[in-house]
Structure formats: C-alpha cells, structure tokens
C-alpha cells in the first residue's frame, strides 16, 4: 500500500466543497504505481480537507473534515516556491512516517448529528407549482457559490450560522 497527497487546483477544490459526492475524479491521471486501496489525503489551498482511497480512476471519500488543516505537505505544495509537478493538481507520494504525521495532525472524527439546513426566499408567482419551479430555477442559477444557506444544530436554531460553499459566511449586506 502506498500513501498519497492529491493537491486539487482551485476549481476542483471549490467543486468538492460545494457538493456531496462519493468520489473525486482528479484532473490529472493517477500516478504510476498507484493502485486500488492506496490511501489519499485530499488537499486544497486551505489544507487537507478529506481522506480517501484510490478506487479505479477516482479517489473515494472515507472522511471529510469540517475545516481544512494546513500541514507541512500542503504548505510545500501550495507555497510560493512550487516547481513543476509539485503544484496544485499534482500527486505527491508520502512515505509511511509522513502519512502518519499527517493523519495525527488531523482532528479526531466527530460523531454525526442532526442539522437543520434552511433556505427560504420570497418568490412571486401565480400559484404554488409555479412558485416551486421558479424557486428551483433561481437556486440553480445562483448555486452554492452565491447563495448562503442557514445551518443550525437541530433543536438549537439560535446557534445557527450562514454558510457559503461549506464555509461560515458573514451575512452583512455590505460584504
């Protein structure tokens, strides 16, 4: 078994943060020597955001982190001194010790809990069916990059916050 760091470019990272998917098919092909079952740390400009494993031409998610974690490997890949293959979009093989250090730097997995996720907006329409169609058309046109969603622990709605692309977002109209 081998260990890898897959550094996604900005567009791939944004896409992975926006939607719940079971696997990512990276823009670059698997490196030579990669095989099914190899472990992969997925990273974006903010740091490692998930762990997965090679599954055919894709990386299947095993665990996503609530917040990305910067590691020495991600700092090297996304730092100003990247050269050639070592930049965003690249695969980097990690030795077992580096992999263990990376995994130890990640927070322990949290227990799943229920969340109340809401999105409501006024829609002008002739009837309920048209209102629903217009709502979904509007949502699709904005998407997760432009439309903040309110998220709160179930039963504790006063603790809610606004999120945009999976990241806490200020709701100040001037922002």
SS3 readout for the chain: CCEEEEECCHHHHHHHHHCCCCEECCCCCCCCCCCCCCEEEEEECCEEEEEEEEECCEEEEEEEEEEEECCHHHHHHHCCCCCHHHCCCCEEEECHHHHHHHHHHCCCCCCCCCEEEECCCCCCCCCHHHHHHHHHHHHHHHCCCCCCEEEEECCCHHHCEEEECCEECCCCCCC
Question: What mean pLDDT do residues 94-122 have?
Answer: 87
Question: What mean pLDDT do residues 76-104 have?
Answer: 78
Query: Domains plus CATH for the chain?
Result: 3-105 (2.30.130), 115-168 (no CATH)
List, in sequence order, every residue forming a beta bridge with 39; answer none if it has no partner.
3, 53
Q: Is 25 left (phi over 0), alpha (psi -120 to 50) or beta?
A: beta
Percent of the chain with pLDDT over 90: 35
* Predicted TM-score (pTM) above 0.85: no
- pLDDT tens-digit series, residues 119-174: 888 899 999 989 999 999 988 888 777 888 888 888 888 888 888 877 787 766 55
Query: Do strands 58-69 and 47-55 pair parallel, antiparallel, or not at all (unpaired)?
Result: antiparallel
Q: How confident is the model at residue 36, as a pLDDT? A: 95
Own/partner long-range contacts of 118-122 (Cβ < 8 Å, ≥24 apart): 118/149, 118/150, 119/147, 119/149, 119/150
């Amino acid at each position: 078994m081998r260990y890898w760091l897959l550094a996604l470019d900005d567009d791939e990272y944004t896409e992975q943060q926006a939607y719940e998917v079971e696997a990512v098919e990276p823009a670059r092909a698997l490196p030579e020597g990669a095989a099914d079952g190899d472990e992969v740390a997925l990273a974006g400009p903010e740091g490692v955001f998930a762990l997965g494993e090679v599954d055919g031409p894709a990386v299947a998610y095993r665990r996503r982190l609530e917040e990305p974690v910067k590691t020495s490997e991600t700092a090297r890949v996304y730092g100003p001194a990247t050269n050639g293959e070592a930049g965003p979009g690249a695969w980097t093989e990690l030795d077992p010790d580096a992999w263990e250090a990376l995994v130890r730097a990640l927070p322990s997995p949290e227990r799943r809990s229920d969340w109340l996720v809401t999105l409501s907006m006024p829609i002008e329409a002739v009837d309920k069916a048209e209102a629903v169609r217009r709502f979904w058309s509007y949502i699709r046109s904005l998407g997760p990059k432009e439309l903040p969603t309110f998220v709160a622990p179930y039963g504790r709605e006063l603790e809610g916050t606004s999120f945009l692309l999976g990241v806490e977002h200020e709701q100040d109209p001037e922002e």
